Structure 1
Amino acid sequence: MQLPENEDDYDALVLAVDELLEITGDDESHPLMSLVDIIGDWIEEWDQTHHPVPKPPGFEVLGYLMREHGLTQSDLPGVGTQSVVSEILSGKRQLNLRQVRWLAEYFKLPVDVFI
């Protein structure tokens, strides 16, 4: 086995990992787990190069975090009034640096999550 050179190689590696995981189960000390780790690294490298996941815009991240935390637009005074938050969530207004810093501190996340 080697690094995938095309999608067929990639699919074969994914299948191999699936089969190995059926053999090893949850046993992290199983001798085949080192092979699972190696192939998993190859798959991850291929994914990052050929199947990159686009970073969502800051307003989508904010909307997601608000839903997850059960927050309303008026629960974020550091961002602005309810109408300002509404404009940000709809994409009509961009987050500014002060708002990004406030949100990062509020949610305990890096600032680049909102940029």
Structure 2
Amino acid sequence: MINDNFFYLSNVTDQELVFLKDITKNMGEEQRKSFSVVYNGKRRDPQHMLLFTLLGFFGAAGIQRFLTNQIALGILYFFTVGLCFIGTIVDLINYKSLTNEYNYQMALESARFVSP
């Protein structure tokens, strides 16, 4: 079953699970296992992203952008204190979509890695 390889992912969203099912539907069992191992190493947890975004209010603005490989925005947030907290508030509201976007990219990258 396709879900069996993803049951251990912490805080997986329904959108993410549907996307993972779609990516792995044409993979064999060994490829699915390899994919889940690679993907789990690259994936970000939405709750961790929320915590890192909250750190922006305590002087560590931009960590969430560094974790999603948006280095330029991370540097900008760091030196402008989260764009005067406005960017940090926006990221706080949209932390799930930031995480999902990053996880989709990592899922596609992982699928390319394990495909023959």
TM-score bracket, normalised by the shorter chain, equals under 0.3
TM-score (norm. length: structure 2):
0.22
Q: Bigger relative contact order, structure 1 or 2, given CA contacts below 8 A and separation 6+? A: 2
TM-score (norm. length: structure 1):
0.22
More helix by share: 2
Larger Cα-atom Rg: 1
